Chain A
Amino acid sequence: MLSFSVRTAMIKALPLFLLSEIDRQGKCMQALKALLSYMKPYWLFAILGPFFMFVEVAMDLIQPTLMQHIIDDGIASNNTGYTVKMGLFMVGAAIIGLAGGLGCSVYSTRAAVHFATDMRKDVFQRIELFSSRNIDAFGTGKLITIVTNDISSLQRAVMMTLKIFVRGPLLFVGSIIIVFFTARELFPILAAVVPVLILVIILFTKKSGALFKKVQEAIDKVNTRLQENLAGMRVVKAFGRQAFEKQKFANANNELTKVNISAEQLIALLMPILLFLVNMGIIAALWMGVIKVDNGSIQVGVILAFINYLNIILNGLMSSSNVLMQITRAFPSAERVQEVLAMELDIEEPSDPYDPRKIAGDVEFRHVSYSYSKNGEYVLKDISFQVKNGQTLGIIGSTGSGKSTLAKLIPRLYDVDKGNVLIDGKNIKTYKLQTLRETIGVVSQKGILFSGSIEENLHYGKENAALEDLKQAAENACAREFIEKLDEGYNHLLTQGATNLSGGQKQRLSLARAFIRKPSILILDDSTSAVDAVSESAIQKALKQEYAESTKIIVSSKISSIKEADQIIVLEDGEVAGKGTHQELLATNKIYQETFVTQGGVLGEYAKR
């Protein structure tokens, strides 16, 4: 009889045939090969694992033969001493087999865990070197999945390969060989039954592969329905559409049940068929056996051994296809991991970096263009401007005008496609990366913070800052008041993603974090959008007074945030649509005037001019 659930095995065996398809692409195989280098330091483990498994399998395979000898030589000749000896052999074989099994577990686990852990280390390190464009190529969600899930499934696949994928084929092939040598009289039965078994498994796998793909699609549909319903719960309730939603879900649910039933019923058919085939082999063995025993060519023990081997063959076949599934599932993972490792870093340290002791903070853009994708549409087109040290530059534009992208070019999160960005008259690409970024304080709209205390988060800006400096920076960012209201004050622990703070609080903390560096260049990218108006004006005042020497670049869609800037750039569709002070733009620039009016300004005399 079969040892484990055939259904599970079947589902797992389903990509048996995808394997050949993947093989054709060859890409995964290449990725797999490249990743195998991580196995090199542990090659001994990787060899010892299968070796020990080989021992276990050999001992398993020897059992029926020993049994046969006991029956045919021991019992038949009433030889007690021989029987006892053989019995002890069986026990000995079991013990050696145990040692093999345990050894296999130890070494293949070691090989797999080391392999995956080292790989994870490298992948993580690589990702840290990624530029924002590199990251965009994957998306952060996908990168996280690669480091966590994909590498885990590779680890699992390696372990499976070293353990069970060795075991299954060995059992299968070993049994056939042993039958060939010790029970050749009954070998024709194997020659008939085994191909049929393989054929049946192949047929079912093919059929169920298609069916389970449909099941997966149906599951996805149910999940989508559910997820949309949950996310849109307020809308559903507001429009009173519960009945409508129930009906939609019921449709998806019925469909899922329907395809699921047909898939599972196909699987339910496999096990009895395989069972029947093997049992027919047993019948044939008895039939042939009695004739051969009659003419004296075999003894009865051979028949019993044969029946045992038949069972082992089936088990080996099932577990191989089962494990093959696990391994093929890991192929796409290997490909993704390799993609990360092979990603060309597009921003790297210059070979002879310029590392000045002090950067004054003059910023200049010369005919800068940028596109997120090669040959794609430019988000920034031919941008030129200059800001002197200590000045404030305002950049205003509607959503999608390219203003955030512009801000990210300065600390080299992205590199320009055309033109140059210069700081203190030198191309930023020549600067030492660390020096460049240390000079710049960036505050982004999202206000990303890390788990840990508020103090730790503020120290991010400057490691050795004194508590007094932290407090001053917090004060300037209008964050001091709320921090000190917290029970733990600066020791207040933030959760992952700082979910225990409001959007405005997060923005204020990330402002403080940038302030603490006293950077030569301060970039505020829509960083006060969630801060209330009273605090915002206080922050603006602090900017002016406390950071007079810093070059300030303020990106915003609100005129109130930038109107006091020394220079304002109006961005529209990635182009500079106007440049000047607030007054100048009000007098001359149509887009700026429109924005001003819609934000509640009264044009008055400016328009008349």
Chain B
Amino acid sequence: MSMQKGSTAQTEKSIRFGNGPGRMSGPIVKPKDRKGTIKRIWRYMKKQKAAMSFAIVLVLISTVLGLLGPLLIGVIIDHYIMPKDISGTIGMAGLLAIVYLAVSLFTWLQTFIMVNVSLKTIQMLRQDLFDHFQALSLKFFDKRTYGELMSRVTNDIENLNSALSQSVIQIFSSVLTVAGVMIAMLMLNWMLALVTLLVIPLMFFATNKIITYSSSNFIKRQRDLGDMNGTVEESISGIEVITLFGKEKEVYNKFSDANERLRNSAMMADISSGFLGPVNNFINNLGLGIVIAAGALMAISGMTTIGVLASFVTYSRQFYRPINQMSNLINTFQSAIAGAERVFEIMDEIPDLKDSEQAIESSSFKGEVSFTDVSFGYGGQKRILKNISFEVKAGQTIALVGPTGSGKTTIINLLSRFYDVDSGEIYIDGRNIKEYKIQSLRSKIGIVLQDTYLFSGTIMENIRFGRLEATDEEVIHAAKLASAHGFIKHLPAHYETRIESGGTNLSQGQKQLIAIARAILADSDILILDEATSSIDTRTEIEIQKGINTLTKGKTSFIIAHRLKTIENADMILVIREGEIVEKGSHEELLAVQGFYYDMYKLQFEN
């Protein structure tokens, strides 16, 4: 129902067919713990208890007034129009007008209140979820895709919004209406009331049958749709290879299979779900016909009046409609609860990295770093690092080299406490890093990553990210040190040039320079360059090297590079292979032992 809102990218994924008014949509995901989830949502809504109670009172009043309408019409017909009492009719019509006015007013007011309540609840929930993301460690994000997390914040929360602002009221008022109409009908004429109820079992039976039948079809269609989409995605993203290897026909056949399967299952699913509308319509009309015919016969034999019959016509509409819609409403509500459950699931993730109670703030680091017997694996059984030990004196430059996947970046991740070691200790200035507050530890460590992520905003803002309180002059100064000033000067709006999301309007080298400027501005005590120049061609690298030299001057720095040339001057080179330090020493020392480093070096530079 709320497909048109929310992120388009996300809603596009959950393609649905044929859910027009009163028609059903796909299979519904049921919540696991409905009660618990509702309770938690309630905790958010509790803050607006007063407003909500008021809305509920209004629903009550407007429902009762809504029941009064048909009753009055019946009375007007029987007692005023039939006896041709014009002034009496006009008087009663005036009363009816007042009732109608009140109904409209209260209906408006209750929606008004609920919209406020639900949107504010949603706002809180969304913020809490985002805030919780910030507290979670990288371990959490490693296990999930961005798309999945985005969908929590957009789709799931948006569904909850529409359920809160509409379904809750609708379910509530539907139940009230059904109960109220039933009472009113029984009071007006119990026999006719029973006639009205006759078709209800038929309604439940038919609806249930259709939903069961069509949801099995929906599951099939959903599966075929997934297959088809997967085939299309793969074929189009690999189209160059398909063209080159001349496999158009094979791929087309594969697609065609999936497409034909979808043709059949989509047809079955849409036809069967399309039956729900007409069938309900039929049952309503049938019910109406029976009520009118029976009522007329009763009227002829004097058991009821035309006015009562008129009331019944309206009442039976009021009565059938909520029952027709109930399954839809409950489904909306249920999938909203299931969505909320997924949101709470994330909120329940306990951040696995937390400051200990005695954690201390560090004002600055001298820069002595040591690893003793550090071992680590990312969750799985595989150990990425095995018994890593080394010591670094303040101000030294350490290079980490080794094949891809050997564990270089992991060492850095542990030093910045993105993850905690499985065993062993890491010390900075003689203190275990777990004794520092995480925030203060990280603020003293500057990192330039291979993948420099830039935020949408101006270049100025992006560099300032390194130190929020820096003045414009300081930002420009940092950019100059990073040799980024040169290209920024030539951009259309200089430092105020906007960076598109992800920085697509800058070259990789330019982005790298901005990241380096950012790190220079942060002025940290320990520096980490994680393949900061690897995706840049060598000539640009020379340019960046100047910036890097400024950055690392006099500071303990760790450099990961696969171009060995860039690290020849390091004070110590650690050669990592399959999670272990296999060699350690200066460039000359390592060349002299003629080991793994020597081999790598020879391979890269052999003439």
Residues B12 and A145 in contact, CB atoms below 8 Å apart: yes
Verify B285–A105 contact, CB threshold 8 A: no
Residue of A3, A135, A155, A448 touching B22 (CB-CB under 8 A):
A3
Q: Are A109 and B449 in contact (CB under 8 A)?
A: no
In this complex, how many residues of chain A approach chain B with their Cβ under 8 Å: the count is 179
Determine the chain A residues whose CB is within 8 A of the CB of B605 once the complex forms.
Answer: 560, 599-602
Assess whether A109 is in contact with B418, with CB atoms less than 8 Å apart: no
Q: Name 20 interchain pairs, CB-CB below 8 A, sorted by A.
A: A63-B285, A70-B293, A80-B297, A102-B278, A114-B263, A124-B255, A127-B239, A148-B233, A224-B456, A228-B455, A237-B138, A238-B416, A241-B468, A246-B131, A257-B119, A257-B123, A260-B119, A286-B96, A411-B243, A533-B603
Q: How far is the CA of A152 from the CA of B456 in the complex (A)?
A: 32
Residue A382 CB within 8 A of the other chain? no
Chain B residues within 8 Å of A533, by CB: 600, 603-604
| Binary flags per residue of A441-472, CB closer than 8 Å to B gives 1, else 0 | 01010001111000000001100000000000
A543 contact set on B, CB distance < 8 A: none
Does chain B have a CB within 8 A of A113? yes
Q: Please state if B252 and A125 are interface contacts (CB–CB under 8 Å).
A: yes
Q: Confirm or deny: A437 has a beta carbon within 8 angstroms of a beta carbon on chain B.
A: yes
Contact B241 A229, beta carbon cutoff 8 Å: no
A226 to B131: give the CA distance in the assembly, Å: 11
Across the interface, do B274 and A105 meet the contact criterion of CB distance under 8 Å? yes
| Chain A: CB-nearest residue to B255 | A124
Pick the residue among A140, A241, A279, A291 that contacts B86 (CB under 8 A).
A291
CB–CB A290/B278 < 8 A: no
Q: Contacts of B146 on A, CB cut-off 8 Å? A: 227, 230-231
CB of A233 within 8 Å of the partner chain: yes
Partner of A147, one of B82, B232, B282: B232
**CB contact list, B146-176 vs A, under 8 A:** 146, 149-150, 153-154, 165-166, 170
| Interface members, chain A 209-268 (any B CB < 8 Å) | 212, 215-216, 219-220, 222-224, 226-242, 244-246, 249-250, 253-254, 256-257, 260-261, 264-265, 268
Pairwise interchain contact A230-B86, C-beta atoms closer than 8 A: no
- Neighbouring B residues of A449 by C-beta, 8 Å: 238
A337 at interface (Cβ–Cβ under 8 A)?
no
Highest count of chain B CB atoms <10 Å: which of A70, A160, A231, A329: A70
Main secondary structure on A side of the interface with B:
helix
Q: Which B residue sits closest to A595, measured CB to CB? A: B538
Q: A238-B447, A239-B522 are in contact. Are A273 and B232 (CB under 8 A)?
A: no
Query: Closest Cβ of chain B: how far from A155's Cβ, in Å?
Result: 7
Interface flags for B244-273 (1: CB within 8 Å of A; 0: not) read 111110011001100110110011001100
Q: Does B112 reach chain A (CB closer than 8 Å)?
A: yes
B275 engages A600 (CB within 8 Å): no
Question: Complex: how many Å from CA A326 to CA B19?
Answer: 11
A240, B511: Cα distance in complex, Å: 20
CA distance A140 to B502 in the complex (A): 19
Residues of chain B within 8 A (CB-CB) of A303 are 77, 81
Q: Which residues of A contact B378 (CB under 8 A)?
A: none
- The distance in angstroms between the C-alpha atoms of A412 and B154, with both chains bound, is 43
Distance, CA A130 to CA B443, complexed state (A): 51
Q: Interface code B577-607, partner A: CB below 8 Å = 1, 0 otherwise?
A: 0000000000000000000000111011111
Residue of B nearest to A71 (CB): B306
Docked complex Cα distance between A70 and B599 (Å) = 102
0/1 interface trace, chain B 92-133, chain A, CB 8 Å (1 if under): 110011001101110110011001100110110011001101
- A120 CB–B CB distance under 8 Å: yes
Contact for B288 among A63, A120, A256, CB less than 8 A? A63
Let me know if A128 and B274 touch, CB within 8 A. Answer: no
Question: Which residues of chain A come closer than 8 Å to B485, judged between CB atoms?
Answer: none
Neighbouring B residues of A513 by C-beta, 8 Å = 245
Closest Cβ–Cβ distance, residue A119 to chain B (whole Å): 10
Task: Please determine whether A504 and B299 come into contact, CB atoms closer than 8 angstroms.
Answer: no
Does B364 sit within 8 A of A, measured CB to CB? no
Quick one: closest A residue to B402, CB to CB? A532
Surface stretch bound by A, among B1-9, B355-363, B425-433: B1-9
Say yes or no: A598 contacts B541, CB within 8 Å. yes
Of the stretches A89-97, A186-194, A351-359, A368-376, the one at the interface is: A89-97
User: What are the nearest 9 A-B pairs in CB distance?
Assistant: A101-B278, A87-B293, A90-B289, A105-B274, A232-B453, A598-B538, A98-B282, A398-B537, A94-B285
Q: Judge whether A399 and B536 touch: CB under 8 Å.
A: yes
Contact call B166/A5, Cβ cutoff below 8 A = yes
Q: How many angstroms between the C-alpha atoms of A143 and B418 in the bound complex?
A: 38
Q: Is there an interface contact between B17 and A159, defined as CB atoms closer than 8 Å?
A: yes
A530 touches B281 (CB 8 A): no
Q: How far does the alpha carbon of A83 sit from the alpha carbon of B298 in the complex, in Å? A: 11
Given contacts A3-B22, A105-B278, contact A149 B539 (CB under 8 A): no
The residue of chain A having its C-beta at the shortest distance from the C-beta of B84 within the complex is A294
Contact partners of A503 in chain B: CB under 8 A: 404
Q: Is A440 an interface residue (CB 8 A)?
A: yes
Q: Which of A528-563 contact B (CB under 8 A)?
A: 530, 532-534, 536-537, 557, 560
On whether A117 and B263 interact (CB within 8 A), knowing A257-B119, A272-B108, the answer reads: yes
- Chain B: interface residue count, which band? 35 or more
The answer to whether residues A160 and B20 also contact, given A110-B267, A229-B130 and a CB cut-off of 8 A, is yes
Shortest Cβ distance from residue A185 to the other chain B in the assembled complex, whole angstroms = 14
With A144-B237, A279-B100 known, 15 other A-B pairs at CB within 8 A are A71-B306, A95-B286, A105-B274, A109-B274, A117-B266, A140-B237, A230-B150, A231-B453, A240-B443, A244-B468, A275-B100, A279-B97, A307-B73, A322-B21, A600-B565
Within 8 A of B (CB), among A309-333: 311, 319, 322-323, 325-326, 329
Q: Does B477 contact A (CB under 8 A)?
A: no
CB contacts (< 8 Å) of A272 on chain B: these are 103-105, 107-108
Is A413 interfacial (CB 8 A cutoff)?
yes
Chain B residues closer than 8 Å to A229, beta-carbon distance: 130, 133-134
User: Considering the chains assembled together, what is the distance between the CA atoms of A451 and B238 in angstroms?
Assistant: 11
Distance in angstroms between the alpha carbons of A286 and B70 in the assembled complex: 12
- Find A235's partner among B453, B508, B542 (CB 8 Å cutoff): B453
Chain B proximity of A309: nearest CB distance (Å): 12
Of all chain A residues, the one with the shortest Cβ separation from B534 is A529
Residue of B nearest to A319 (CB): B21
Q: How far is the CA of A237 from the CA of B522 in the complex (A)?
A: 13
Q: Within the complex, which residue of A239, A257, A290 is in contact with B466, where a contact is CB–CB below 8 Å?
A: A239
Chain B residues near A60: list those with CB within 8 A: 281, 285
Known: A70-B292, A160-B20. A144 touches B233 (CB 8 A): yes
Q: Mark A266-280, 1 if CB is under 8 A from B, else 0.
A: 001101110110011
Say whether B154 contacts A163, CB under 8 Å.
no
Closest to A14 in B: B4
Contact in complex: A532, B456 (CB < 8 Å) = no
The contact string, 1 if C-beta is below 8 Å from chain B, for chain A 24-41, is 000000000000000000
Q: Specify which chain A residues have a CB less than 8 angstroms from the CB of B126 in the assembled complex.
A: 222, 253
CA separation between A91 and B7, bound complex, in Å? Answer: 46
| A273 and B104 form a contact (CB under 8 A) | yes
Residues of B within 8 A of A74 (CB): 296, 300
Contacting pair A249 B296 (CB below 8 A):
no
**Which A residues lie within 8 Å of B603 (CB)?**
533-534, 536-537, 560
Task: State the Cβ distance, A596 to closest chain B Cβ, in Å.
Answer: 9
> A497 in the interface, Cβ–Cβ < 8 Å?
yes
Answer yes or no: B279 CB below 8 A from chain A CBs.
Answer: yes
Hey, which chain B residues are within 8 Å of A20, CB to CB? none
Asked if B367 lies at the interface with its beta carbon under 8 angstroms from chain A, I say no
B37 proximal to A (CB < 8 A): no
Which residues of B are found within 8 Å of A386, using beta-carbon distances? Answer: none
Residues of B within 8 A of A326 (CB): 20
Cβ of A289 within 8 Å of any chain B Cβ, yes or no, is: yes
Q: Would you call B80 and A290 a contact (CB within 8 A)?
A: yes
| Residues of the A chain whose Cβ atoms lie less than 8 Å from the Cβ of B7 | 219-220, 223
Q: In the complex, which of the residues A104, A215, A233, A260 contacts B278, with contact meaning CB atoms closer than 8 Å?
A: A104
**C-alpha gap A272/B130 in the complex (Å):** 36
User: Given A113-B263, A437-B243, are A286 and B81 also a contact pair (CB < 8 Å)?
Assistant: yes
The yes or no answer to A100 lying at the interface (CB within 8 A) is yes
Give Cα A106 to B89, complex, Å: 48
